[in-house]
Structure 1
Amino acid sequence: MDQDEQHADDVDAALQAADVMMRVAARSVSEVEDIVTSPQLRVLVMIATRGPQTLGGVAAELGVHASNATRTCEKLVRLGLVERTEDPDDRRFVRVGLTAEGSSLVQRVIGHRRSALADVLAVMEPAERDAAVASFRAFASAAGDLPSADGRFTLLLPGAAAGL
């Protein structure tokens, strides 16, 4: 096998693993789709990972007009998943933060993802699992460990404990 073929095989293997992880993420989203929409979940995960956000920050992250972000957040307020507060740095702005119920929903989604991936790792032989884990770490490091800006696909919250 020449170098180009090996590279193509390596990429195919990475895509196959990514496909499994994407399906895990998609299944966890489907568990809450009767409660929130995908854009609403993105807002919840963004707040969970970055802390309270201004409506302008939400709009920028979603790539929508501020009025759309306001409507999205208003729906989340009505659902009891976020709360509005004055921005402590500038009272002209409103910040949205998670309520306990919103945090619980995000933890549920991330917990589903962790559990599903743990199930896959559990069926692997110990040596294969160790090699896979080392490879995952090397892959994340090579990518710069950059967190996903798109909360729909976030698998790990900052400071998440192994028992999440």
Structure 2
Amino acid sequence: MPDAGVPLEDGRTAADVEVALRAARTFSAITAESMAQAGDSVTLPQLRVLTLASGAGALNNRQVAAALGVHISNASRICDRLVQVGLLSRRDAPGDRRQVQLTITEAGTRLLDAVTGHRRTVLLQVLDRMTDAQRSAVTDALAAFTAAAEDVLQAPHDHLP
């Protein structure tokens, strides 16, 4: 690892990256704990599919593959598992029986709500340990970080290892 104070590009330092990595690990730990608290064994990719389905109304395997950055066969297997355990439902798309529509079930919504609720509770506990000024700074920084991350995640990833 480079020295934390060594400039990288545009004034960034290795310490900046390390802080972001620590935050990412913290968010991942909160998500993992939330998934465990929900009591069902779903993987993070499966949780992402449920999240997508909760906002999209109906998805197909191609959309899931694109959102997860995986081959359509992998997306299909992930969705098949969610259908098998009753968290997603599958039906033929109206007008094109070659396509399927995937929608979140009530059980899937309850699971997603439980995971999200636990994350919300933990994040509130964390924010409660901060001063008003710290909370404001974190909120502003995370809003900017999220916007930048969305731009990066929507861009082609041919340049990433």
CA–CA separation in structure 1 for the residues paired with 2:65 and 2:16? 37
Residue 80 of structure 1 corresponds to 86
Is the 8 Å Cα contact of residues 35 and 42 (structure 2) preserved in structure 1? Answer: no
Identity %: 37
Distance 1:133 1:44, change over 3 A: same
CA-atom RMSD in angstroms: 3.1
- Larger RCO of the pair (alpha carbons < 8 Å, separation 6+): 1
Residue 63 of structure 1 corresponds to 70
Query: Deviation of residue 33 (structure 1)?
Result: 6.4
Equivalent position amino acid for 2:64 in 1? V
Query: Deviation of residue 144 (structure 1)?
Result: 5.3
Equivalent position amino acid for 2:7 in 1? D
Is the 8 Å Cα contact of residues 83 and 97 (structure 1) preserved in structure 2? Answer: yes
Q: What is the number of residues matched between the two proteins?
A: 147
* Residue 30 (structure 2) pairs with residue 24 (structure 1): yes
Query: Deviation of residue 135 (structure 1)?
Result: 1.6
Q: Which runs of 5+ in 2 are unaligned?
A: 155-161
Equivalent position amino acid for 2:104 in 1? L
* Residue 18 (structure 2) pairs with residue 15 (structure 1): no
TM-score, length basis structure 1: 0.70
Instruction: Within 5 Å, give how 1:83-162 maps onto structure 2.
Output: 83-141=89-147, 143=148, 145-146=150-151
Query: Deviation of residue 18 (structure 1)?
Result: 2.2
Equivalent position amino acid for 2:108 in 1? G
Equivalent position amino acid for 2:98 in 1? R
Name the SS for the 1:95 alignment partner: strand
Equivalent position amino acid for 1:30 in 2? A
Q: Which runs of 5+ in 1 are unaligned?
A: 150-164
Is the 8 Å Cα contact of residues 79 and 88 (structure 2) preserved in structure 1? Answer: yes
